[in-house]
Structure 1
Amino acid sequence: MKLIYDVLIVGSGVSGLYCALNLNPSLNILVISKEDISNNNTYLAQGGISTAKGKEDISVFIEDTLRAGQYKNKLESVEILANESIDNIESMVNYGLNLDKINGEVAFTKEGAHSVNRIVYSKDTTGKAVFETLIEEANKRKNITLYEYTCLTDIITTNGKCIGGIVIKDQQEIIICSKVVVLATGGIGGLFKNSTNQRHLTGDGLAIALKHNIKVKDINYIQIHPTAFYEENSESRKLLISESVRGEGGKLLNKHGERFVDELLPRDIVSKAIFKQMKKDNREYVYLDVTHLEDKYLKNRFSFIYEQCLIRGTDITKDYIKVAPAQHYFMGGIEVDLDSKTSMDNLYAVGEISCTGVHGANRLASNSLLEGLVFSKRASNHINENIDNIDISHINYNEFKIDLLNLSNKDIVLNEIKSIRGDLKDELLAN
């Protein structure tokens, strides 16, 4: 079976959907999702979206991002992130995103390594609000088609250019002919036993890039989040206890009920401190305490976390929360330029699978949704300007067949990571 589209977007998270919405309405677009359309990491995001609070905050925002990233960030990317943050937040609000307000004004919260309160949010389910806003808008667009339970097995290339993809849907092989492919396939959390990510996110886009010798960058930069809810003998996705909980006053305690770290240091530093304390306490967790905060406030501000912890037997208004670090985010990925172009013509990568260089070695809290917005819009703008120059009408797609891999996508990525990250022991990775 063969289908023809102008643009194939692989992934239905913030970067995939926002990219689709910013493409010219005259373009015929297919967005595919490996699982249910809402089964993505965007939907899980709790804390919020970073944004410069005004021109005077841009330089501070840039410095905070660089400092958190250990100054291994790509400066141009960070400058773009900060300078284009306000306009993209406004675009989301215009689409209907409902942000929390105080006295009629948009509220800002603070998370680790931020100098000021600059994170906008929708209670503690910001990602859900972002996804629902985008999918509602996408469903209004007649030029956007959405396919669920559709897995990209490979891209189609000729003469160093990407001209489509091969997917499996309903156990049927489908060739997608397209002028442009945008990979928005998400991260690699499904490779880890302990991760806050959706389990089906196993680095498919990265594996395809490795197979086709497309440039990748910094795949050793894997972020561990300090505070995931600790559940004994569970290999399911870990419940994230948002950094905003610590931003609003949550304290990390050892087994004696004593603080042992500044909770708002960068994530890598806090994670290391927790691992050290766990070893010292001879326990697989530490405590996060918010019992000193008002019950009504906790239930309103962190309604999702409150309800999910309660299901797991913890009342956060009365009980300490058992937490432990877990894999959370992939700062490396497919190397892209400032317009999200990969090293292969007609192929773009956006969101967590891409490496814009904006995060450096450690992502600043709540910069993920913002990166997804800013750089997917830049991809759309570049596609809009150049797609009319791409002609695939002369290509005989009947010549292309699936090149079955001896190794699965998962194995390709695992082997590559293990070869680079000697400190990531086998027991940390999924079987």
Structure 2
Amino acid sequence: MEMEADVLIVGTGIAGMYSALNLREDLKIVMITKSNVEECNTYLAQGGISTARNEDDYDIYIEDTLKAGTYKNDIEAVKVLVEESIENINKLVSLGVKFDMDGENFDYTREGAHRVNRIVHCSDKTGQKVFEVLLDNVKSKKNINIIENACLLDLITSDNKCCGGIVRIDNEIVQINSKITILASGGIGGLFKNSTNQRTLTGDGISIAIKNDVEVVHMDYIQFHPTALYEGNSKDKRFLITESLRGEGAYLLNNEGDRFVDELLPRDVVAKAILEEERRTNSEYVFLDITHKPKDFIINRFPLIYNECKKRGIDITKDKIPVTPAQHYFMGGIKVDTDSKTSMNNLFACGEVSCTGVHGSNRLASNSLLEGLVFSNRAAECINRSIDDIDCAKGKINIKMVQDCDKYNKHIIVEEIIKARGDMKNELVGC
């Protein structure tokens, strides 16, 4: 079976949705997602979206991003992220996102390694609220077709040119021919035993890129979030306790009731301090304590965390929250330029699957959703300018070659992670 599209988008998170909305409406767009549309990390994001408050904040924001990334960032990409942040936040507002307000201004909050409050949010459900608005807008477009339960197995290529994708839809192999393909398929958290990510996110886009000789970089840049809810040996994704709790004044305490680290240091520093404290006290967790804040403030500011913890027998207005680090984000991935172009012609990559270089070796809090916005928008603008000049002949596929792609793709990404970070072998599922 074959399908035709001007643009094939793999993934329905913020990067995939936002790129689709910024593409021309005369283009036929097919979006595919491995499971259902909501099963993406965007939907899970709690804390918010970073943005420059104004032009005076540019230099400070750039420096905060570089410092958190241990100065291994691509400085040009960081400048793009910061200088185009405000316009993309305003575009979300125009699409219908209702961020929390303080009068006529955004109610900015703060997270680790930010020197000022510059994070916009929708209580502690920012990702969900943004996702719902983007999905509603996508569904209103007659030129965009979303196909669920559609797994990308491989790219269709010819002479370093991408001509579409080979997709399994309800156990049928479908060849989707397209002038442009955008990989927005997310990160690698589903490969880890302990991760805050959706379990379906197993690095498919990255493994398929590697298989097709598309350049990838920094496979060792794996971030652990300091504060995932401790739930013993649960095999489910870990429930994230957003960094915004610490931004609003929550304390990290050891089992002796003492603070042991500056809660607003970069994530890698805080996560390391927690693991060291756990080893020192022979414990599997530490505590996050916000009980000194007013009850109404806690419930209204963090309704998701309050309700989810309450289901687990923890009242965060009275009880300390047991937390421990868990895999959270991948800063490496498919190498792209500032227009999200990969090393293969007609192939773009946006969001966590890509490596813009903006995060360096450690992502600054709440820069992930912003990266998805800024660079997927730039990808769309680039495609809008160039797609009319693309004449991509249909590629041919060998059905027998793609039947076992699932296992092969997973093998590729796991081997690459182990090669880059052998110290994480025991953290990976099946290893």
TM range (shorter): over 0.9
Deviation at 1:402, TM superposition (A): 5.5
Deviation at 1:219, TM superposition (A): 1.1
Deviation at 1:399, TM superposition (A): 5.2
Partner of 1:342: 342
Distance in 2 separating the partners of 1:336 and 1:399? 26
Partner of 1:403: 401
Correspondence 1:58-73 to 2 at 5 A? 58-73=58-73
Deviation at 1:430, TM superposition (A): 1.1
Partner of 1:390: 390
2:423 is paired with a residue whose SS is coil
The answer to whether residue 361 in structure 2 is matched with residue 364 in structure 1 is no
Partner of 1:277: 277
Distance in 1 separating the partners of 2:397 and 2:298? 59
Contact 1:51–1:119 (CA<8 Å) still a contact in 2? yes
Contact 1:334–1:353 (CA<8 Å) still a contact in 2? yes
Partner of 1:254: 254
Partner of 1:421: 421
Partner of 1:48: 48
Distance in 2 separating the partners of 1:402 and 1:4? 22
Deviation at 1:410, TM superposition (A): 1.7
1:277 is paired with a residue whose SS is helix
Distance in 1 separating the partners of 2:299 and 2:400? 51
Letter aligned with residue 22 of structure 1: N
Distance in 2 separating the partners of 1:262 and 1:408? 43
Distance in 1 separating the partners of 2:364 and 2:302? 21
The answer to whether residue 184 in structure 2 is matched with residue 184 in structure 1 is yes
Letter aligned with residue 428 of structure 1: E
Distance in 1 separating the partners of 2:349 and 2:158? 19
Letter aligned with residue 2 of structure 1: E
Partner of 2:17: 17
Deviation at 1:67, TM superposition (A): 0.2
Deviations 1:101-155 (A, max 9, x none): 1223211000000010000000000000110010010011000001111100001
What is the TM-score with the length of structure 2 in the denominator?
A: 0.98
- How many residue pairs were aligned? 428
Distance in 2 separating the partners of 1:104 and 1:86? 16
Partner of 1:223: 223
Partner of 2:153: 153
Contact 1:23–1:381 (CA<8 Å) still a contact in 2? yes
Deviation at 1:403, TM superposition (A): 2.3
Runs of 5+ in structure 2 lacking a partner? Answer: none
Task: Quickly say closer, same or farther: Cα 1:399–1:212, change in 2 above 3 A.
Answer: closer
Letter aligned with residue 126 of structure 2: T
Q: Which stretches of structure 1, 4 residues or longer, exceed 6 Å deviation after superposition?
A: none
Contact 1:164–1:177 (CA<8 Å) still a contact in 2? yes
1:403 is paired with a residue whose SS is helix
Letter aligned with residue 73 of structure 1: N
Deviations 1:262-290 (A, max 9, x none): 00000000000000000011010000001
Partner of 1:8: 8
The answer to whether residue 291 in structure 2 is matched with residue 291 in structure 1 is yes
Letter aligned with residue 403 of structure 1: M
Contact 2:156–2:397 (CA<8 Å) still a contact in 1? no
Partner of 2:208: 208
Deviation at 1:398, TM superposition (A): 5.0
Deviation at 1:423, TM superposition (A): 2.2
2:412 is paired with a residue whose SS is helix
Deviation at 1:409, TM superposition (A): 1.7
What is the TM-score with the length of structure 1 in the denominator?
A: 0.98
Distance in 1 separating the partners of 2:416 and 2:230? 29
Contact 1:166–1:402 (CA<8 Å) still a contact in 2? no
2:53 is paired with a residue whose SS is coil
Partner of 2:330: 330
1:423 is paired with a residue whose SS is helix
Deviations 1:285-306 (A, max 9, x none): 0000011011111000000000
Letter aligned with residue 209 of structure 1: A
Partner of 2:135: 135
Contact 2:189–2:197 (CA<8 Å) still a contact in 1? yes
1:237 is paired with a residue whose SS is coil
Contact 1:202–1:409 (CA<8 Å) still a contact in 2? no
Deviations 1:223-253 (A, max 9, x none): 0000000001201100000000000001000
Partner of 1:105: 105
Distance in 2 separating the partners of 1:197 and 1:14? 15
Contact 1:154–1:402 (CA<8 Å) still a contact in 2? no
1:20 is paired with a residue whose SS is helix
Letter aligned with residue 132 of structure 2: E
Deviations 1:26-77 (A, max 9, x none): 0000011111111100000000000000000001100000000000000000
Task: Quickly say closer, same or farther: Cα 1:197–1:56, change in 2 above 3 A.
Answer: same
Tell me how large the CA RMSD over aligned residues is. Answer: 1.0
Deviation at 1:427, TM superposition (A): 2.0
Deviations 1:4-44 (A, max 9, x none): 00000000000000000000100000011111111100000
1:323 is paired with a residue whose SS is strand
Letter aligned with residue 234 of structure 1: S
Letter aligned with residue 48 of structure 2: G
Deviations 1:184-229 (A, max 9, x none): 0000000100000000100000100111111001110000000000
Distance in 2 separating the partners of 1:327 and 1:376? 24
Contact 1:6–1:29 (CA<8 Å) still a contact in 2? yes
2:36 is paired with a residue whose SS is coil
Partner of 2:116: 116
